A and B are shown apart, each in its own frame.
Chain A
């Protein structure tokens, strides 16, 4: 997909929040949504089940206005975390410019994190993309839970972050680390602008 359209002078970035079920992806988007001035945000589309689990995906468009003469838009998506929605995840992942992997910091969720990360790799490979080439950041969510329940940032880095990409501790409910994560992902995505030769 075209991340930047120099003819119409538009930049569109699609960032996908990936991760196991209940890791806090939608919470991240909701927090962002809550911080965006009304005129900058589009309608957040959330297709959820009755128990508030994401059924299809969440979509939050952000209008960042004109930057250096480019109309800049961010589109934030989440994927459904549950294992059986892989077809949807693949669909959402298509054309992603960057990925935020939201991991659940709870020690007992480690396996789900690993599985979801493997699933991300597989789905990217299926699209002919590689994790290494994809702007990726980790967010270790729920760090606000009691320390004996959660793994430290270091432990999670060791377990998940094989590529040494930026990682952030977070407590998405209160917003801690949410924007830091988004900023890092955005920067990685935008830095690719100058590396990619225009068509």
Chain B
């Protein structure tokens, strides 16, 4: 047993081509994470194709990554020798315990175990022990385990349970790459095309290829003129031992009839052997094709950090499997994991790193985890049921807004997106916003977020404070419609504007409906981010004007009918004639009349209204309320309380009064 690894034999000095890529990748994987990926890893190939190089490279890399790791490289001959010596000295137990300490065991030339039953049993014991302790074993041989004569069935099945990979003779490109690298290492310089000419020789292994290079170097050293490609080909032609070509090629030349009788059957002595080799080649390819596909898939997904137990179990089977189908399903599961993990990352980045998100056999648990996290986050605030589209009173001044709202309800996300209602306070913007939200919330799987900008700001501040911004975002990004009241309140709130900008983009791109209300058209709102302005104006911006007399009357009639069953026409006419710049103002006045009427035990009427309005005290000086909000509240009795100012014009302009309603 030796611990010495030839430093020349590293992954860096290994030329990788199609013929050995799988083996090299597998070897690198086990070196990087010994005992976890493929255990044992069994590499087989004819001689001279880099098995020992690969084996030592595994040891080098494992040591490089974890210097204290115990790596042992041994050939079967050394193993036999050490074992015999230990038995002779009565120290076989000591030898075993020594092997048990090894963390990466590299065994070369396993084919020499043929007919050595005791050694096979010993290796089996060591393999079992190391494997159960999670230690890595890498083995090489010149043939697959199944073809090693007289190999113990238990060893065979153990090798089969790991990953079996072969190394084929290098293709022309790989041969050229090897030649170029070795020539460079040796400082040998050749003319154009010389190494290409050498690479054309189909040598069966790398050693012989390097032999050709040696000869070329030696020849050039003594040659006066630089060697040419043709010269190289000629020089090496006699040296090359190429493999027997396979079957394909031109049809055999046919003999003349005259030759037929004379041709002895021995003229084609190898026909059957040739046939047999062909069949063997095809069978090997076909029988092991699923195992190879599976091995490649395992390597790929393991490299990406996914658990491949499901695929590895299949590798243990003797029976081939419908590999394509299995892999397709596995990939679908990974896709699902990825998408679920992406959702989880938004909800809780830390929990999204749970190993369970890398295990396609835990899909249900993963879904459950995300569902729980979603429940913890809760749905976004929804629209109020108090404002229905059917109770919205339409008139000339809000005709466009009303019809746009209906269009959005009919074709959310596509007809007008975003839809922006701009106008003074109290003209019904909030009503329309909630009404749209209410309608959209009735759709299948609808998640309608409907809230005021102030609420959005407050929530964001709270989320930042609680370091739950991702979850906060997810809450809104799930929304199928996003409706924001009083968007002008975002002025000066840069972070919220930033968040809204991203949220807007995401929802808009997936054609989810966005509706906003604002005190004015977006570009007139000073302090609003230009990116937001351009996006808002990219949709439909509808001005909602103060209600005209006709609309005011309709509102009063509607309210009276709703509250008292019938409308007093005179009262309706009187109130509609009062100037008001908002629906809320009209309703506020009506509310006052109703309260007074109730106090007097009569129904609201025009005389009472006239008395209240015309006998009202002179207004107090106007008090600025700073930022104006819709601020509307629904009282338990169903009436509307407002803290809005009301303005109306008396019939006599000289008696104009501004009254602050409270």
Task: Give chain A's interface residues, CB within 8 Å of chain B.
Answer: 4, 6-7, 9, 11, 32, 34-37, 40, 64-70, 72, 74, 143-146, 153, 168-169, 171, 173-180, 182-184, 186-187, 190-191, 193-194, 197-198
Shortest distance from the beta carbon of A109 to any chain B beta carbon, whole Å: 17
CA distance A137 to B288 in the complex (A): 25
Could you give, for residues 257-293 of chain B, a 1 whenever the CB lies within 8 Å of some chain A CB and a 0 otherwise?
1011001010010011011101110111011111000
Contacts of A193 in B (CB 8 A): 283, 286-287
Q: Which of A40, A67, A144, A175 contacts B280 (CB 8 A)?
A: A67
Contacting pair A179 B318 (CB below 8 A): no
Nearest to A182 among chain B residues (CB) is B275
Contacting pair B319 A176 (CB below 8 A): no
Contacting pair B283 A11 (CB below 8 A): yes
Contacting pair B318 A175 (CB below 8 A): no
Shortest distance from the beta carbon of B367 to any chain A beta carbon, whole Å: 30
Shortest distance from the beta carbon of A34 to any chain B beta carbon, whole Å: 6
Nearest to A178 among chain B residues (CB) is B271
B146 within 8 A of A: yes
- SS class of chain B's interface: helix, strand, loop or mixed? helix
Shortest distance from the beta carbon of B318 to any chain A beta carbon, whole Å: 6
CA distance A70 to B320 in the complex (A): 13
Contacts of A183 in B (CB 8 A): 247, 274-275, 278-279
Contacting pair B276 A64 (CB below 8 A): yes
Contacting pair B271 A6 (CB below 8 A): no
Q: Which of B256, B272, B325 contacts A36 (CB 8 A)?
A: B272
Shortest distance from the beta carbon of A89 to any chain B beta carbon, whole Å: 26
Given A35-B271, A193-B286: A67 touches B279 (CB 8 Å cut-off) = yes
Contacts of B320 in A (CB 8 A): 6, 198
Could you give, for residues 19-39 of chain B, a 1 whenever the CB lies within 8 Å of some chain A CB and a 0 otherwise?
000000000000000000000
B322 within 8 A of A: yes
Contacts of B602 in A (CB 8 A): none
Contacts of B284 in A (CB 8 A): 67-68
| A-B interface contact total, Cβ < 8 Å | 116
Contacts of B278 in A (CB 8 A): 183, 186-187
CA distance A70 to B146 in the complex (A): 9
Contacting pair B271 A7 (CB below 8 A): no
Nearest to B289 among chain A residues (CB) is A194
Q: Which of B253, B255, B319 contacts A6 (CB 8 A)?
A: B319
Contacts of A35 in B (CB 8 A): 265, 268, 271-272
Beyond known contacts A144-B255, A144-B257: 8 more, CB 8 A cutoff = A64-B279, A66-B147, A68-B147, A68-B284, A173-B260, A176-B252, A176-B254, A194-B286
Interface residues in B, total, Cβ within 8 A: 38
Shortest distance from the beta carbon of B269 to any chain A beta carbon, whole Å: 9
Nearest to A34 among chain B residues (CB) is B265
Contacting pair B252 A68 (CB below 8 A): no
Contacts of A66 in B (CB 8 A): 146-147
B616 within 8 A of A: no
B222 within 8 A of A: no
Q: Which of B253, B271, B280, B287 contacts A179 (CB 8 A)?
A: B271
B579 within 8 A of A: no
Q: Give 7 pairs: A residue, B residue, CB < 8 Å, sorted on A.
A: A35-B268, A35-B271, A35-B272, A37-B272, A68-B283, A174-B263, A176-B255
Contacts of A32 in B (CB 8 A): 272
Contacting pair A144 B251 (CB below 8 A): no
CA distance A184 to B249 in the complex (A): 12
Shortest distance from the beta carbon of A168 to any chain B beta carbon, whole Å: 6
B240 within 8 A of A: no
CA distance A182 to B322 in the complex (A): 29
Contacts of A177 in B (CB 8 A): 251-252, 254
Contacts of A187 in B (CB 8 A): 247, 278-279, 282
Contacting pair A179 B275 (CB below 8 A): yes
Shortest distance from the beta carbon of B18 to any chain A beta carbon, whole Å: 19
Q: Which of B247, B252, B260, B286 contacts A184 (CB 8 A)?
A: B247
B295 within 8 A of A: no
Contacting pair B271 A175 (CB below 8 A): yes
Contacting pair A190 B275 (CB below 8 A): no
Contacting pair A168 B280 (CB below 8 A): no
Contacts of A36 in B (CB 8 A): 272
Q: Which of A6, A37, A68, A144 contacts B256 (CB 8 A)?
A: A144
CA distance A37 to B271 in the complex (A): 11
B162 within 8 A of A: no
CA distance A168 to B248 in the complex (A): 12
Contacts of B283 in A (CB 8 A): 11, 67-68, 70, 72, 190, 193
Contacting pair A198 B321 (CB below 8 A): yes
Contacts of B257 in A (CB 8 A): 144-146
CA distance A70 to B252 in the complex (A): 31
Q: Which of A70, A144, A190, A197 contacts B254 (CB 8 A)?
A: A144
Given A70-B287, A183-B275, A187-B282: A171 touches B254 (CB 8 Å cut-off) = yes
B547 within 8 A of A: no
Nearest to B160 among chain A residues (CB) is A69
Q: 4 closest A-B pairs (Cβ-Cβ)? A: A69-B146, A193-B286, A190-B282, A67-B283
Contacting pair B255 A174 (CB below 8 A): yes
Shortest distance from the beta carbon of B190 to any chain A beta carbon, whole Å: 40
Shortest distance from the beta carbon of B393 to any chain A beta carbon, whole Å: 69
CA distance A99 to B289 in the complex (A): 25
Nearest to A180 among chain B residues (CB) is B252
Within residues 315 to 338 of chain B, which ones have a CB less than 8 A from any CB in chain A? 318-322, 325
